[in-house]
Each structure stands twice: as C-alpha cells, then as structure tokens.
Structure 1
Amino acid sequence: MDTTTVVWIIVAVVIVLLVLVVAAVVMRGRTEQRRTEAAGIRGQARDESHRVGQQEAFAEETAAKARAAAAEADAKRAEAERLEHRAGAHSHEAASAREELDKKFERADEIDPDRKTGDGEKS
C-alpha cells in the first residue's frame, strides 16, 4: 500500500470518528433539552394542579349545597302535603259543622211560631 492511500484511510477514519462524536454531542444536547422542557412542563402542571384542586373543591361545595337544597325542598314538599291533608280534613269538618248549623236554623224556623212561611202567612 502506498502512503497516500494509508493517509486517506486515516483521514477517512478520523472524519467518521468526528461525525460520530458530533452526533453523540448533538444527541446528548437534545436529550438534555428535552429533560429541561419536561421539567418545565411538570412545573407548570404542578402550578395548575393547585388551581384545578381549588376548582374541584368549589365544584364539590356547590354540589353539596345543591344536595342540601334538594333535601330542604323535599322536606318542604312533605310539609306542604301534610298541611294540604290537614286543610282538607279541616274543610270537611267545617262543611259538616256548617251543614249541622244550617239544619239547626231550619229546625228553629220550623218550630218558631213567629216565623212566617213562604206564602206570607205565619205557620
């Protein structure tokens, strides 16, 4: 082999090694850049996690208020039904009392000698 050929082979090997070293450095830099980017995203996510936690707590508090209001509405509905039932019973009692009272007035009118009959004469 000629010395020129040996020199060219050595130059080629050195160039290949340089390309490999440059590729390794670029890959390492890229990997580090991705680590830094991932750490930044994780930091933002932690910051947002607190805000999201507050939103979840507010949503749960609102849901609890809604459940309490629904329970109160159910209690009010039951009370209204109970009162309606009582009002119906009182109305029935009042109607019966009115009916008996009217009968007493009619009976009093029937036996009252001073009460005029429907044709204008005393009974």
Structure 2
Amino acid sequence: MEPNRFEELVLSHLARLTEDMSGLKSDITGLKEDTSWLKEDVSGLKQDMSILKDDVSGLKQDVSILKDDVSGLKDKLNLVYEHVVVLTENQTVDSKRITKVEQDTTSLAELYGKNEVEIRNIKSILI
C-alpha cells in the first residue's frame, strides 16, 4: 500500500471519527440537558409529595375531629332518647291520673246529683 493511500485512509477514518465525536458531544449535551430537566421534575415531585403528605396529615386531623364530634353527638342523642323515654313515662302516668280525676269528678257529680234530689225531697216534706 502506498504511503499516500494509507495517509488518505487514516485521514478519512480520522475525519469520520471526528464527526462521530462531534455527534457524541451533542448527544452528551442533550443528555445533560435531559438530566437537568429530570432533576427539576424530581425536585418538583418531591415538593408535591411533601404538600400531599401535609394534606393527608390535615385530613387525618379533620377525620379525628369529626370522629370526636360524632361521638359527642351520639352521647347527646342517647341523652335525648333517655329524656324522651322519661317524658313518655311521665305522660302516660299523667294521662292515667287525668282519666282517674275525670272518673272521680263524674262520680262526684252523680253523688252530688243524688244528694240534691234527697235534700229537695226532705225540704218538700218539711214545708
């Protein structure tokens, strides 16, 4: 092989290697930019995750407060139920008493009526 031919081949390969190197450099630059974007995205995701954790923590506190409120309402509802039971029992007793008073009043009215008749009869005999 001639020295000129060999030199041309080496220069040709060198030119291709230089072009390939240039392409690799631009690829590496692109990868670095992509890596930078990915790092920013990961950082944003970490911030979002932190916000979500805070939100979940807040929701857990809200659920705890709601559970306490529901428990308090259940206690109050039980108290109201107990009062309603007592009131219903008292109403039943009072209703029976009123019925008894009405019956006694009716009986007294009947007795009063009979006594009035006897008093009138005695008065008429005496006069």
Higher relative contact order (CA 8 A, sep 6+): 1
Tell me what 1:52 maps to: 66
Q: Once the 2 structures are TM-superposed, how far is the Cα of residue 110 of structure 1 from its aligned partner?
A: 2.4
State yes or no: 1:22 paired with 2:36.
yes
Distance across 2 between alignment mates of 1:89 and 1:65: 36
Normalising by the residue count of structure 1, what TM-score does the alignment of the two structures yield? Answer: 0.76
Structure 1 segments, 4+ long, off by >3 Å, are 1-8
Tell me what 2:46 maps to: 32
Q: Once the 2 structures are TM-superposed, how far is the Cα of residue 91 of structure 1 from its aligned partner?
A: 0.8
Tell me what 2:91 maps to: 77
Say how many residue pairs are matched.
Answer: 113
State yes or no: 1:111 paired with 2:125.
yes
Tell me what 1:12 maps to: 26
Normalising by the residue count of structure 2, what TM-score does the alignment of the two structures yield? Answer: 0.74
Q: Once the 2 structures are TM-superposed, how far is the Cα of residue 102 of structure 1 from its aligned partner?
A: 0.5
Distance across 2 between alignment mates of 1:5 and 1:45: 59
Which of 64, 72, 86 in structure 1 is aligned with 2:100? 86
Distance across 1 between alignment mates of 2:124 and 2:107: 26
Percent sequence identity over matched residues?
Answer: 4
Q: Which runs of 5+ in 2 are unaligned?
A: 1-11
Indicate the structure with greater helix content.
2
State yes or no: 1:99 paired with 2:113.
yes
Q: Which runs of 5+ in 1 are unaligned?
A: 116-123
Letter in 2 for 1:21: T
